[in-house]
Amino acid sequence: LLEEDTGCSIESIISEKGWDHFRKIERRMIEEVSERDNLAIATGGGVVMDRNNVQNLNRNGFIVWLRGDAEVLKDRMEKEQRSGKIRPSLTGVDPLEEINQVLNVRTPLYQQTGNLMVDTSLLSIEGVADTIMKNLPRGLQG
């Protein structure tokens, strides 16, 4: 949604205008989608850093924390890079070190925020989807 709305990739928004500008756009998008029903959205992991985002998502949503081990996340990010998707660095340090730093800060927020935690480390995409569907509240199950 964010890339469609702005006509720019997340990478270009951040490289041209910075993280603060990206977070403002992200916040506006969260405000907009939180007023709608029957949506499944994928946010970036940093969405929990803004209390307003969390409040808006909780207002009309069911939040799933897709947890992964740092090594697994690093491998997935490297695979994405090989296919052309670039994730802007948050810290500029070694990728595994950055992932560990980010997880140390965000994990407590994910634990407080998420209605459901799914450990994706050993699951396929289908396995993750099945786990989520089995654990959705009845009113949200398609």
Q: Which residues span the domain enclosing 18?
A: 1-61
pTM here is 0.79
Domain identity same for 5 and 31:
yes
Residues 41 and 84 in one domain: no
b/e map 36-54, b = 16+ CB within 10 Å? eeeeeeebebbbbeeeebb
- Do 79 and 138 belong to one domain? yes
If asked whether residues 67 and 39 sit together in one domain, one would say no
Read off the pLDDT band of 88 (50, 70, 90): confident
CA distance 117 to 7: 32
pLDDT in tens, 16-61: 999 999 999 999 999 999 988 878 888 989 999 999 999 999 888 8
Whether 87 and 118 map to the same domain: the answer is yes
The total domain count for the chain is 2
